[in-house]
Amino acid sequence: MLSEQEILEKTDQELVKLTLKHKEYYTFLMQRYEHKLRRYILRISGGRAEDTEDVMQEVFIKVYKNLNDFDTNLKFSSWIYRIAHNETITFLRKINRRPTTYNFEIDAVRVRSMKEDLDLDKDFDQKQLAGDISKIIGGMDVKYKQVLLLRYMEDKDYKEISDILKRPPGTVATLLRQAKERFKKEILKNSRLR
């Protein structure tokens, strides 16, 4: 067995190959994605911790069962996020609840990134903007919410978002552009109301 340091230095694809040969390495894949997936599931599901744990368990079981089918030419992160996305939507359908957005916290780096990308006035208060981002994204149509969460909260590029949502890259680009326009309109409206 490799040392923990050697395992940490492995890419996802290398770790998948190791796991296919030696199942005990699967734990390291789970650890690598546990926090990220939990956060993502919370954001798209509505934020109940016990529900998130149920979904996480299903995700990791499904990943383990289907690891042989993973195409190593693709990004592992896109593949596992796609499974997490599908399992979350399936779970919400089972309990007859529509996806919502958890009232999530946003770190200063992500707020600054959105502020710059949306070309927002520099006078926007950082803390107020963070609260507005969460509220506005939470109230958006699911198709816009998903692309904004993946792009800005999960730092996924267009190709990864396309892989996760199983939508053509052009559609992702259009959805993201429309979502940003709607978001900017709402953020400006909120700032005028203060």
CA–CA distance, 102 with 188 (Å, rounded to integer): 22
For the chain, residues classed under CATH 1.10.1740.10 are: 7-94
- The more confidently predicted of residues 141 and 68 is 68
DSSP 149: I
In this predicted model, what pLDDT tens digit does every residue of 92-128 receive, in sequence order?
A: 888 876 555 555 667 777 777 777 777 776 666 666 7
CA–CA distance, 85 with 44 (Å, rounded to integer): 8
CA–CA distance, 33 with 173 (Å, rounded to integer): 26
108-193 has CATH 1.10.10.10 classification = yes
For the chain, residues classed under CATH 1.10.10.10 are: 108-193
Least reliable range by pLDDT among 1-10, 117-126, 174-183: 117-126
Res 103: pLDDT = 55
CATH class, 7-94 region: mainly alpha
**Signed CA dihedral, 124, 161, 63, 92: sign only:** positive
Place of tokens 């030419």: 73
* 80 close to 63: Cβ distance less than 8 angstroms: yes
In this predicted model, what pLDDT tens digit does every residue of 6-56 receive, in sequence order?
A: 988 999 999 999 999 999 999 999 999 999 999 899 888 766 778 889 999
Tokens standing for 168? 């053509």
